[in-house]
Structure 1
Amino acid sequence: MKTVFSGVQLSHAPKHEISDGELKPAVEIPSRAEMVLAAVKQRRLGDIFEPDDFGMRPVRRVHSDGYVDFLEGFWEKWTAAGRQSEAFPFVWPVRSLRADPVPDHIDGLLGRYSMDAGTPLGGHTFAAAKASANTAITAAKLVMDGEKSAFGLCRPPGHHAGADFFGGYCFFNNAAIAAQWLRDNGLARVAILDVDYHHGNGTQSIFYGRSDVLFLSIHADPRQEYPYFLGHADETGEQAGTGFTRNWPLPLGTDWQAYLPALEDACRWLLVYRPEVLIVSLGLDCFEKDPISGFKFTSEDFFDLGRKLSFADIPTVFLMEGGYAIEALGTNCVNVLEGFETG
């Protein structure tokens, strides 16, 4: 299986995050990608490619112009305000506050275009996020051009980013950008299966009213886990997209055997929908030793996940999302990819 990766993605290197009411060391750090890349090389998964540069048009097909412009110009505004450290938002236009006026001040803009206080922005965030989006599109192009599968080693991840907001360590929604690029280049039906421990709220919100991109997500129950406010079983789409979103929220402590029925149900939806390409939002944070998650997968279970996905017999793009048990991340990731290849 071919892998796509850009070293530019390592330039976003946050030092801290706000978690559990404290300023803690960041967990979405460059070594996540470095560990996966090392495992890809060590286990000889296949050739590794630099991504092509597709410009910003594919990103703007998914994300609002205001949001993209904010990310691109953020660091200049931040430093012009006399700030030097990485940035965290602290105020949001919730409920009775107005969301329509665009603030002039950088702190107001941070709140307008974010969903949480745990996702720091720095001087290289935009460049890394753009490279991550190009990685996703390049992997999608490999599959559209005839590869059975391809792996986009995306970092930072993407599935929490909405059309006009960042959060959950995500800035551009790589899976959504790849899916839209495939649609814009002639495919009629694309599916996204999100197996990250956390619900892909951004991906769901982008395609919630559409029938040309099926969104399926298996994740921890949002009543108990981030992102808390999306990912419930009764969310199935709206208007033209009614029935084209499906969620399987599962309780904390879920292991592979308890997870399997939801995965089999999701695979049945794939067989009914018959997408021309499947995009897998490949979070590895269902792992039992993940520091911020609560499922109980073993490393061997990730082989089984890959094998199960191969049974759908759909050209597949794997895009890395979460997973923060860094020492095991490369093993668990390549286990999925090898399991898929061997069936």
Structure 2
Amino acid sequence: MITVFDDAQRAHDPQFFLSSGAPQPCPEKPARVDALLGAVRRLGGPVVQAPDAGLEPILRLHPQRYVTFLQTIHARWSRIPGASAEVIPNIHPANRSDGYPLSAVGQAGFHQTDTSCPISANTWAAAYASAQTAIHGADLLRAERVVYALCRPPGHHAFAELAGGFCYLNNSAIAAQRLTDAGRRVAILDVDLHHGNGTQGIFYDRPDVLTVSIHAHPERYYPFFWGYPDERGRGAGDGANLNLCLDRGTGDEGFMAALDRAMQAVADWGADTLVLALGLDAFEGDPFAGLAVTTPGFARIGRAVAGMGLPVLIVQEGGYLCPELGDNLAAVLSGF
């Protein structure tokens, strides 16, 4: 299995994370890369760097003003007297159809959903490299059956014009669009602990990409406002979105039951290519402690998805530092 990775993704090193009103060390750290790469190298197989495909594949989903914001906001923010070292919003519009401000403070509130996506001087370069990793992974599926895109920072909480939840560019969605443009019928299966709200939002009105997410129920869990079972898509996209919500603490058997439903939906929809948005934070020992999937459970997930017989692009989403992080990735990849 080919792994795509760009070392430039290490440059993003967020410091600020506000949880339940208290500042905490940010769990989305560069050290995640070492654990994940270690697992890849134990399994063997080539690790390649993506060529630069430019902005065009990103602009297929993310508007130019949002990309410009990500590229320039830290420098603009830094000119504000007394500004924090990272861009962190302190005001938000009631909705994104309100006016678009020129102020750096206003634009931060417009384009960042929460305080868990701080932007530093190196954030754009890392997010861009992460997106290029997913793009090249999609291109490799022309000849490969399975490709792993080691993307960091992750992407599935990023909407078309919104960063949030450690995410800036939606790598899984960008890859799915790349594959759709190449004539594939694509489904995105998100197995992260948290609902892939940005992915859902990007495709919610579209009938050409199926989005399926298995996640902890948002009634009492991030992202709170999206990911409910009655969200099926809208307009032309009605029926092209499926949310499978799990109770806190759900373990292997409950997760696998949901995965069976998800895979049946993918088969019924007639997908010929799958983007697996791979979060490893459903693990019982993950710092977020939402679900209770075991390392052998991740191996079962890998085997089940591989058993669908589809070309699969595996895009790394969440999964945070714990001793078993690399083992959990190895368990999934070994299933293929």
Partners in 2 of 1:75 and 1:325 — Cα distance? Answer: 27
1:155 alignment partner AA: R
Give the % identical residues. Answer: 42
Match of 2:164 in 1: 167
SS at match of 1:317: strand
Partners in 1 of 2:332 and 2:267 — Cα distance? Answer: 20
Partners in 1 of 2:322 and 2:72 — Cα distance? Answer: 31
Q: After the TM superposition, which residues 1-343 of structure 1 pair with which residues of structure 2 at under 5 Å, given as runs? A: 1-44=1-44, 46-82=45-81, 83=83, 85-94=85-94, 99-143=97-141, 145-187=142-184, 189-339=185-335, 341=336
Deviation of 1:84 (Å): 5.7
Partners in 2 of 1:5 and 1:174 — Cα distance? Answer: 13
Q: Deviations over 1:222-241 (max 9, x none)?
A: 10100000101011111111
Long gaps (5+) in structure 1:
none
TM-score (norm 1): 0.95
Partners in 2 of 1:104 and 1:253 — Cα distance? Answer: 44
Deviation of 1:245 (Å): 0.4
Q: Deviations over 1:13-34 (max 9, x none)?
A: 1123111211111100101112
Long gaps (5+) in structure 2:
none
2:128 alignment partner AA: K
SS at match of 1:70: helix
- 8 Å contact from structure 1 (residues 199, 227) kept in 2: yes
Tell me which moved more, 254-263 or 164-173: 254-263
- 8 Å contact from structure 2 (residues 188, 212) kept in 1: yes
TM-score (norm 2): 0.97
SS at match of 1:326: coil
Q: Deviations over 1:41-80 (max 9, x none)?
A: 1232x10000111101111111111111100111221122
Partners in 2 of 1:43 and 1:309 — Cα distance? Answer: 18
Tell me how large the CA RMSD over aligned residues is.
1.2
- 8 Å contact from structure 1 (residues 39, 331) kept in 2: yes
Structure 1's 99 and 242: CA in aligned 2 closer, same or farther, altered over 3 A? closer
